[in-house]
Amino acid sequence: MVKQFGARLGDRIDLFYAMSLGLALIAFVATWALLRSRVGLGLTAMRDNEEAAGSAGVDLVRTRVLCFLWTAPFLGLAGVMTALEKLRVAPTASFNITDWTIDVIFIVVIGGIGSLEGPIVGAVIFFALRQWLADFGAWYLILLGAISIAVILFEPRGFWGACRRWGVPDILPVSHVPEAADGPAGAASGEAARTPAPTTVG
């Protein structure tokens, strides 16, 4: 079956990388569309304060189930790509806590939570650090942990959060900006905002 993806090993690897890139792009666009929808607004409210989101009308159970159903196909396809690339399914290869849990958490923490750009920046930083710290042996994970703790203490929003604080706008914004109020009340408030404040002469 694997030979159907290419007669030579190099051809199969190139095809697997292209398929992985396509899957990553589709998942990225789908996640952006989800976060920009009403379901995504409910998820954001649940992230900030679950009790307040429920009292505001967000169906907590339905929103949580939709989130799991949305991510399940992409996780399943990623598992298929991993099995085809490794040509075996074993606990040590498919359920490695270092590769599939610790590294992912590190990428999100370093890059920044609450944005789509953060994990991308975090992935670039992670692979650069892994390449740079490869010669440190067992100190590799210790140094990564120390960097994670430092980021959590001094910049909880991660690298992209620091960029936001410096005035860099989001490339793919997922937040919702409230629109101006309509009607007489909105018009009155807008008119009041445009009216200059009276000055007093001492």
Q: In whole angstroms, what is the distance from residue 156 CA to residue 162 CA?
A: 9
Phi and psi, residue 23, nearest 5°: -65, -40
Tokens coding 7: 């007669």
Nearest to 17, CA basis, from 70, 81, 73: 81
pLDDT tens-digit readout, 106-118: 888 888 887 888 8
Q: How many degrees, rounded to 5, is the angle at CA 177 between CA 174 and CA 182? A: 145
Nearest to 155, CA basis, from 110, 102, 104, 108: 110
Sequence-distant (≥ 6) Cβ neighbours of residue 108 within 8 angstroms: 118, 119, 122, 158
Entry pTM: 0.69
Q: Which of 17-26, 87-96, 137-146 has the lowest mean pLDDT?
A: 87-96
pLDDT tens-digit readout, 17-60: 888 889 989 988 888 888 888 888 888 888 888 888 888 888 88
